């Protein structure tokens, strides 16, 4: 290797925490995401003020990053006996690396600067966490000897951030990019335009900065809260082009590609507020002050295309990315259907309907961007009416769009709501901060497989990777963004980097618990649910029992059954709790001296249906399968405010029939259940249901129309019941002017309580 420059940097620091200088002990290698191959050996490399860093211009970005990361403020440049050296190997793939830590040297081998940069991120995690904010004052630290060979599983490894709903500082955007880089992600999807705010300076259209960037007020609380209330505070702002250039350059120095998103044809009310002629009605509208889907979308006329091409011209000068994201999602066609120009355009172009008009719209934008040497990415709605020729599809409404696109030989990025939406709740703890809804725990993110089962080997090649999405309707501060992102981003990083065979959730949890200290030093406001307890009802030959578990090892669960708070002196949980009557279980995790985490609390109602046989004639939705059919009669009721926990079952646009068979005839005094009614999220309680006892005539139960979040249903019982059936018709199509208009509603049902 010919070295053009020899650069020294000095390093310091104390022993690795809890590590002894024992040649016979091999420490746990706590790296996230999990490398492809790790081989530990005896001994340590001693990092001190005589350590040299040697690299040439081929590794300037990664070498400079490491030099800056290790610097203590001394100015010596040394090529000491203990050195860190960069070696080029053209046989490696561009993002691969080999990190070989020996007693006398650290060798970083890569084909490219980017691969070397990822090696440094692994080396970084082998150093004490206090390196992150330069708090070490000692002059020596020891790094365990290890050989790591590594490369990513997927080429696209991304995170998204919506700044349209809430705006975040340039400093935070850089902090966010730093986190992505540390976890070997390579793409930042920056959602810059929305109904609620336009966030990018476009010099040719100053009203985008003057009008579209600001809304007059913001919704208070959740969209499902009725009636809606607002804060009466003007809100907004935008990133100047100079700020964007600075951020793009910063990202490039960390091998992060920024893909900007300029929404079209929908989610464009803010732009239409600034320039009403871009809409179909030419009437003034306001920048949206609440969340959702709005009917004012870009009208496909020449003026609109000229505007968008001008906007994109300025966007292209700021972002060198191959891809430009154009949205394409949630574009109601109401305005188009009532627009003479749109109807004439459909006839002139020989289009079938408004869906094909959207495809025409997307194709025109794609052709323009292709002429500039760029490609488009769009949400999976761009499949409607025919997919633009060279488009990449970002599949968010499940995996169906991804499968359809891949089978058409289009590239796909996986980001389904079921596994990738970090605006969903991550814990069932009722103390969690307000979120949009849903339930996406850490384990579900970790176990996500970006390759749909429906694809064959040839088709899987079109799946580029996956990303986590962060929609910020309910994230007003950067601290709240961090809380919702961490630690799920760590699980996502391993999903897209690590080979499936290398993943192990229990091992990941051990590494994550260790990683918390690093997040503390980085001043990242992460959510810590590692010390929470989960419960599950089990039924076997011995009867009903309740099982408790926790994620972390080496801790003790203590519990009570009388609704009292568990203490260090409370009973230790060793195996399942046998249930003979209704109880209120409370449990907490303890170490030898202290309680860890929040108290787990669960009332278990042993009503007459618990443990009986139940069947549902409709296939459960993967995203909202709760605890399965048996979860409707497990004695546990769902949340009063969330529909995405383990107890609510959700069905999209379908009628449902539920049958409960009892072991013997019983007397029923009353039947209770309830339906979720979150209309802002397309969830409607049914208008009526039918209850059938045995094989008798069904009894119709009318449900009053209500704006309440949860709608209860109570019904009198019956004697000598062996079979009980519920027929639940779907609410039907959501009416115009409502969120989800034109779509069939969701039905969510909770515990069926039989007394």
Least Cα distance to 747 among 684, 687, 704, 659 occurs for: 684
Structural contact between residues 555 and 587, judged by C-beta atoms closer than 8 angstroms: no
Q: Decide whether 156-330+373-517 matches 613-754 in CATH topology.
A: no
- Examine the pLDDT at 5 and tell me if it is beyond 60: no
Q: Is residue 406 within 8 Å of residue 455, measured between CB atoms? A: yes
**Strands laid side by side in the 583-590 sheet:** 571-572, 556-560, 583-590, 595-604
pLDDT, one tens digit per residue, over 496-551 is 999 999 999 999 999 999 999 999 999 999 999 999 999 988 887 778 899 999 98
CB atoms within 10 A of CB 205: 18
SS3 of 514, please?
Answer: helix
Is 80's pLDDT higher than 80?
Answer: no
Say if residue 6's pLDDT is above 90: no
Asked if pLDDT for residue 297 goes beyond 80, the answer is yes
Contact 215, 234 (CB under 8 A): yes
Give the pLDDT confidence score for residue 539 in this predicted structure: 80
pLDDT of residue 74 exceeding 80: no
Q: Say how many C-beta atoms besides its own lie within 10 A of residue 458's C-beta.
A: 10
Give the DSSP per-residue string, 203-219. TT-THIIIIITEES--E
Mean pLDDT of 49-74: 84
- Look-up of token digits 């052709």: 367
**Structure tokens given for 578:** 């046998």
pLDDT interval class at 70 (50, 70, 90): confident
Top-level class of domain 156-330+373-517: alpha beta
For 277-289, write each residue's pLDDT tens digit. Answer: 999 999 999 999 9
Query: Nearest-CA neighbor of 190 among 222, 254, 118, 238?
Result: 238
What phi and psi values does residue 425 have, to the nearest 5 degrees? -60, 145
**Residue range 359-369: mean pLDDT, rounded:** 95
Q: At what angle do helices 505-521 and 488-497 cross, to 10 degrees?
A: 120
Q: What is the DSSP letter of 738?
A: S
Say yes or no to pLDDT of 71 above 90.
no
Query: How big is the chain by its Cα radius of gyration, in Å?
Result: 29
pLDDT value at residue 140: 81
Q: How far apart, in whole angstroms, are the C-alpha atoms of residue 222 and residue 433?
A: 11
pLDDT for 22 beyond 50: no
> How far out from the chain centre does Cα 667 lie?
47
- Give the H/E segment covering residue 445: helix 442-446
Peptide bond between residue 182 and the one before it cis (omega within 30 degrees of 0): no
Q: Which residues pair with 264 in a beta bridge?
A: 327
To the question of domain 7-150 being in CATH 3.90.1150.10, the answer is no
User: Model confidence at 138, in pLDDT bands (50, 70, 90)?
Assistant: low
Distance CA 6, CA 206 (A): 50
In angstroms, the CA 151 to CA 306 distance is: 43
HEC string for 140-152: CEEEEEEEEEECC
Q: If we measure between CA atoms, which residue out of 413, 414, 359, 347 comes closest to residue 384?
A: 359
Q: How far apart are CA 506 and CA 443, in angstroms?
A: 10
- Beta carbons within 10 angstroms of residue 349's beta carbon: 11
The answer to whether 74 touches 50, Cβ cutoff 8 Å, is: no
Query: In this predicted model, what pLDDT tens digit does every residue of 374-412 receive, in sequence order?
Result: 999 999 988 877 776 788 999 998 899 999 999 999 999
Indicate the average pLDDT of the chain. 91
3-state class of 2 per DSSP?
coil
In this prediction, residue 202 carries a pLDDT of: 98
Instruction: With a cut of 60, say whether residue 24 has pLDDT above it.
Output: no
Q: Is 131 helix (H, G, I), strand (E, B) or coil?
A: helix
pLDDT tens digits along 538-569: 887 778 899 999 988 889 999 999 999 999 99
Question: Domain spans of the chain?
Answer: 7-150, 156-330+373-517, 533-604, 613-754
pLDDT above 70 as % of the chain: 94
Give dist(CA 67, CA 118) in Å, integer.
15
Reported as a pLDDT band with limits 50, 70 and 90, residue 137 is low
The label of the residue with tokens 């910063």 reads 250
As beta bridge partners, residue 424 has 437
Residue 16 has a pLDDT of: 32
Q: What is the pLDDT of residues 447-476, one digit of tens each?
A: 999 999 999 999 999 999 999 999 999 999
Beta-carbon count within 10 A of 554 CB: 7
At residue 8, the pLDDT reads 36
What does the pLDDT read at residue 27?
Answer: 53
Per-residue pLDDT tens over the stretch 111-130? 999 999 999 999 999 999 98
Torsional class of 255: left (φ above 0), alpha (ψ -120 to 50), beta (otherwise)? left
Burial status of residue 446 (CB atoms within 10 A of its CB: 0-12, 13-18, 19 or more): buried
Tens of pLDDT, residue by residue over 695-705, are: 899 999 999 88
Instruction: Give residue for tokens 């790790």.
Output: 38
Pick the CATH number of 613-754 from 2.40.37.10, 3.60.15.10, 3.40.50.300, 2.60.120.1190: 2.60.120.1190
The tokens for 57 are 């211009």
Q: Does 353 or 26 have the greater pLDDT score?
A: 353
Structural contact between residues 614 and 629, judged by C-beta atoms closer than 8 angstroms: yes
Residue 654 has pLDDT above 50, yes or no: yes
Backbone φ and ψ of 673, nearest 5°: -155, -175
CB 550 within 8 A of CB 531: yes
Alpha-carbon gap, residue 452 to 578, rounded angstroms: 40
Alpha carbon separation from 312 to 372, 374, 440, 528 (Å, rounded): 10, 11, 35, 41
Q: Which of 454, 448, 382 is closest to 421 using CA atoms?
A: 448
724 or 641: which leads in pLDDT:
724
Q: Give SS3 for 404.
A: helix
> Degrees (nearest 5) of the Cα angle 312, 315, 319?
135
């Amino acid at each position: 290797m010919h070295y053009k420059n020899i650069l020294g940097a000095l390093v310091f620091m104390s022993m690795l925490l809890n590590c002894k200088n024992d040649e016979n002990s091999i420490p746990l290698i706590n790296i996230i995401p999990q490398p492809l191959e790790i081989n530990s050996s005896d001994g340590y490399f001693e990092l001190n003020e005589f350590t040299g860093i040697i690299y040439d211009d081929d590794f300037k970005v990664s070498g400079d990053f490491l030099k800056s990361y290790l610097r203590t403020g001394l100015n010596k440049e040394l090529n000491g006996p203990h050195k860190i050296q960069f070696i080029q190997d053209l046989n490696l793939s561009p993002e691969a690396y080999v990190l070989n830590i020996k007693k006398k040297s650290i060798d970083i081998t890569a084909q490219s600067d980017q691969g070397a940069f990822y090696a440094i991120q692994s080396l970084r995690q082998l150093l004490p966490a206090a390196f992150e904010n330069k708090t070490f004052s000692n002059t020596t630290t020891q790094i365990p000897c290890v050989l790591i060979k590594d490369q990513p599983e997927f080429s696209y490894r991304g995170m998204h951030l919506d700044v349209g709903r809430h705006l975040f500082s340039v400093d935070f955007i850089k902090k966010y990019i730093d986190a992505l880089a540390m976890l070997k992600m390579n793409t930042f999807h920056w959602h810059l335009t929305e109904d609620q705010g336009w966030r990018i300076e476009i010099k040719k259209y100053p009203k985008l900065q003057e009008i579209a960037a600001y809304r007059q007020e913001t919704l208070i609380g959740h969209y499902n809260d009725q009636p809606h209330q607002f804060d009466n505070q003007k809100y907004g702002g935008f990133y100047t082009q100079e700020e964007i250039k600075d951020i793009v350059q910063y990202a490039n120095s960390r091998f992060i590609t920024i893909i900007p998103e300029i929404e079209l044809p929908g989610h464009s009310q803010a732009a239409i507020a600034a320039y009403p002629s871009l809409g179909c009605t030419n009437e003034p509208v306001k920048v949206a002050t609440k969340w959702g889907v709005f009917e004012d979308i870009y009208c496909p006329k020449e003026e609109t295309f000229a505007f968008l091409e001008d906007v994109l011209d300025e966007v292209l000068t700021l972002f060198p990315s191959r891809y430009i994201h154009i949205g394409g999602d949630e574009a109601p066609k109401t305005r188009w259907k009532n627009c003479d120009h749109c109807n004439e355009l459909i006839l002139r172009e020989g289009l079938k309907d408004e869906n094909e008009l959207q495809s025409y719209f997307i194709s025109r934008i794609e052709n323009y961007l292709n002429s500039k040497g760029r490609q488009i990415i769009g949400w999976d709605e761009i499949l409607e009416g025919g997919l633009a020729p060279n488009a990449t599809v970002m599949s968010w409404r499940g995996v169906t769009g991804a499968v359809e696109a891949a089978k058409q030989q289009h590239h796909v990025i996986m980001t389904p709501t079921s596994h990738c939406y970090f605006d969903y709740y991550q814990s069932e703890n009722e103390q969690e901060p307000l979120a949009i809804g849903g339930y996406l725990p850490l384990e579900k993110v970790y176990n996500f497989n970006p390759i749909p089962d429906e694809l064959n080997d040839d088709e899987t090649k079109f799946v580029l990777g996956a990303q986590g999405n962060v929609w910020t309707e309910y994230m007003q501060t950067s601290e709240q963004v961090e809380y919702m992102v961490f630690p799920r981003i760590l699980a996502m990083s391993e999903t897209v980097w690590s080979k499936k065979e290398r993943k192990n959730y229990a091992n990941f949890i051990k590494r994550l618990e260790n990683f918390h200290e690093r997040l503390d030093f980085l001043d990242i406001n992460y959510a810590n649910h590692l010390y929470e307890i989960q419960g599950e009802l089990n039924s076997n030959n011995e009867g009903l029992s309740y099982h408790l578990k926790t994620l972390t090892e080496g801790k003790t669960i203590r519990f009570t059954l009388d609704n009292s708070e568990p203490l260090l002196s409370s009973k230790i949980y060793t195996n399942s709790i046998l249930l003979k009557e209704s109880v209120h279980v409370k449990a907490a995790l303890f170490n030898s001296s202290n309680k860890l985490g929040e108290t787990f609390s669960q009332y278990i109602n042993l009503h007459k249906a618990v443990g009986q046989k139940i069947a549902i004639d409709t296939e459960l939705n993967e995203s909202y399968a709760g605890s399965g059919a048996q979860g409707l009669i497990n004695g546990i009721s769902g949340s009063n405010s969330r529909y995405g926990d383990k107890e609510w079952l959700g069905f999209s646009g379908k009628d449902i029939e539920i049958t409960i068979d009892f072991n013997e005839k019983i007397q029923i005094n009353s039947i209770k259940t309830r339906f979720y009614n979150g209309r802002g999220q397309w969830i409607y309680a049914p208008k009526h249901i039918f209850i059938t006892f045995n094989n008798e005539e069904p009894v119709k139960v009318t449900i009053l129309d209500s704006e309440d979040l949860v709608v209860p249903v109570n019904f009198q019982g019956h004697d000598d019941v062996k079979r009980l059936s519920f027929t639940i018709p779907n609410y039907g199509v959501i009416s115009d002017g409502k969120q989800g208009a034109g779509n069939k509603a969701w039905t969510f049902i909770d515990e069926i309580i039989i007394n």
